[in-house]
Amino acid sequence: HSATSIVERLGISGTNLLYRWKNQQVESAGPVGEVLDSRVVELEAELRRVERERDVLKKALIIFGRNE
């Protein structure tokens, strides 16, 4: 979910408050919070890569499916 969609769902104005809450939680969790935060970034990047691969495979299936 994007920060904007979360803010809208929670009914708060602006994303600054949301980011401040997040940073406070990460800081209070110490090194574990930082590790988890960096892991989330890694997983989001991997998800984007896998989604791109999926989209390419879907297109290939359509192209090769037409030739049969």
Quote the pLDDT of residue 1: 80
| Rounded CA separation 30/39 (Å) | 14
| CA–CA separation, 38 and 40 (whole Å) | 5
Poorest-confidence range of 12-16, 29-33, 35-39? 29-33
Q: Is the pTM of this model over 0.85?
A: no
Whether the per-residue pLDDT at 46 is higher than 80: the answer is yes
Asked if the model's pLDDT at residue 42 lies above 90, the reply is yes
Are 3 and 18 spatial neighbours (Cβ–Cβ below 8 Å)? yes
Please give the DSSP secondary-structure letter assigned to residue 34: H
Is the CB of residue 40 less than 8 Å from the CB of residue 29? no
